[in-house]
Chains A and B, each alone.
Chain A
Amino acid sequence: MTSPVMLIAGREFRAYAATLSFWVALAIGPAIMGGALLMTGGHSLTPPSPPTIAIVPAADGAFEARFSSDFPLSETGRAQLLRMVEAEGRLGGALRSAAPAGSERPDLHRVSSFALVMMLWMTLTGSLGMLLQAVVRERSNRSLESLLAAARPSDIVMGKLAGVGAVSVLVVTAWLGSSLALAGLSPETGGLVSSLLHGFAEPLQLIRAGLIYLLAFGFYGLVTIAVGARARDNADAQNLARPMFAVLLAVFFTVLAVAGGAGGLGWLAFAPPFTPFILLAEPQTPGVEFMALLLLTAATVVAGWFAVNGLMLDSKAPVVEKTNTQVTAV
């Protein structure tokens, strides 16, 4: 016997994933990414310049070695190389590695993070639309009563969340998986898109992003169900969901500001609607991240309570149809 949660989740998943249009839409994103990679030099449309090392005199009489950002050695390797050059004694002075030359790496890192956050933000927004539909569809045609007569409200909420969540995870996996694959196929210096892909296509970073995405989907998903459960029809649901989507828009601009180097926004990690995206755009200290995620979890539990109670019919009188056979008072 399958649990009601799994049954409802499977039904929701099939409702979206069992269509050709879904798979076409799923393939479009990675295809565009691959196309952009090719167009901006993913496979050396412009041959990459070779890595360089420049040794320049420093003010104190010593020498500084400046490595190009794509120099193919780790910090340890670079230090070893410098020791070898210094040991030759031809420079006539001490040789040290210069501080990272400018802001090239940090900027690229910011932009990469922003690209990753936006990818997840777009997927989340689209998934919430699907989830809203999944709730309103049954609320508006009152077939929710059939479900409620057979399953607990919490089963229905979890089933819908898991079903649409699985669709959402599939989309995220397609995006992130293709990013990893494309990053593996292209040289790091192959162009802007290639550099961006290499910037965030690190497996550990992607796993972290995936986990944070799940938390974000849990929170926003339950808020969406709570909203949808109170709507009478589609138009009503759209209106009720407007504030939530406005918050998501605020999140977008906040992340944009963080990517642009704006400081002083780290505190927003403690505001649950912002938490996942701030943590992705600008990683915080482990203590801060732990506290922020704890708050997000608490907010998710509250949203879940509203979602489950919203599905119950307690506060609503049944709709009475007016017909022309209505009895007139005697």
Chain B
Amino acid sequence: MTRFLLVMSFLLLATPVVAHELTPTYPKINPAYVDGLLVAQLSIFNARKDVDYYEIGVFDKDWKPIPFATTTKILNVPYTGKINFEVYFRKEDQRRAVYVCTLSKLRSDEDSYAIVSSKVCSRLDGEPS
């Protein structure tokens, strides 16, 4: 048993952590301080050493883009960093806006070997009943 635990510990230690996470799954939509706008607060965690930037996108149910505003559409999230951000969109788009996503941006230079791009999407239209 001890040997098994030791082997498992070494395996876990030897496995690099390369993860991308977006929370919450169903962010709360609140009125923004600007009239006619709504805001959702989200948080991104980056444990991918090969990725420094993530692109934010808001989409309808058919994955058509919906206009939105953030402080920056391309977020610089350092390795093992967690960043909270806000997504603003128009009240009139509330019924259309379904997904808010973060997509990892891969570098195309010779030093980058990443060939997997990750995208995590939360839902703006609430938890299904």
Report whether chain A binds chain B: no
Instruction: Please list the residues of chain B having a beta carbon within 8 angstroms of any beta carbon in chain A.
Output: none
